[in-house]
Amino acid sequence: MSNIGPLPVGITRAGEGVDGTVWNVLGHTYYFKANCDSAFSFETFDPPGTFVPPHIHPTQDEFIYVLEGMFDLYLDGQWLQAKAGDLVCMPASKPHAYYNKTDKPNRAIFWVSPGRKLKELFDLLHNLTDPEEVVRRSATCEVDFLPPGAVPGA
């Protein structure tokens, strides 16, 4: 396990990141919410047409609480949809992906448990525009993208 430290006390407002930290990752806006040994959390703003392709977190469970909009999701071999108010559970080592196929932006709270290296990864990906480099850097932080074409319909 990493040695990130304890969770600090406080409130981080909607559409803001802790200490002003906001990441731009391939068209998504991620607002840093929390990081500790047991969890890492971020708020997303996902414009129409954005997506995160199929990938695996071998060391973390991941969750999405949809605040606004609707996500099309690939979860361990199934295509599903989640709308505002829904909670999505993605256990470690299960392939998953999410897409905004609507004409409106989506907002959600994501978190992983344990926290491990995801904040480090977002720091490495901020403003990066090369998808191949995103995949390479992600692998160094325990996020493994599936090869293109590995998931039908993705």
Residue 28 within a domain: yes
Q: Is residue 104 part of a domain?
A: yes
Domain that holds residue 31: 22-145
At 5 the pLDDT is 77
- Token pair belonging to 132: 């191949």
Q: pLDDT tens for residues 129-143? A: 898 999 999 999 999
Mean pLDDT score, 93-115: 96
36 strand-pairing partners? 39
For residue 5, tell me if it sits in a domain: no
CATH number assigned to the domain comprising residue 36: 2.60.120.10
Residue 78 lies in a domain: yes
Angle at 66 between CA 61 and CA 69, to 5 degrees: 140
What pTM did the predictor assign?
A: 0.91
In a domain, 2, yes or no: no
Q: What pLDDT shows up at residue 150?
A: 85
Helix (H, G, I), strand (E, B) or coil at 145: strand
Chain segment 31-63, per-residue pLDDT in tens: 999 999 899 999 999 999 999 999 999 999 999
Domain count of the fold of the chain: 1
1 within some domain: no
> Which residues pair with residue 110 across a beta bridge?
42, 64
- Asked whether residue 69 is assigned to any structural domain, the reply reads yes
Does residue 127 fall inside a structural domain?
Answer: yes
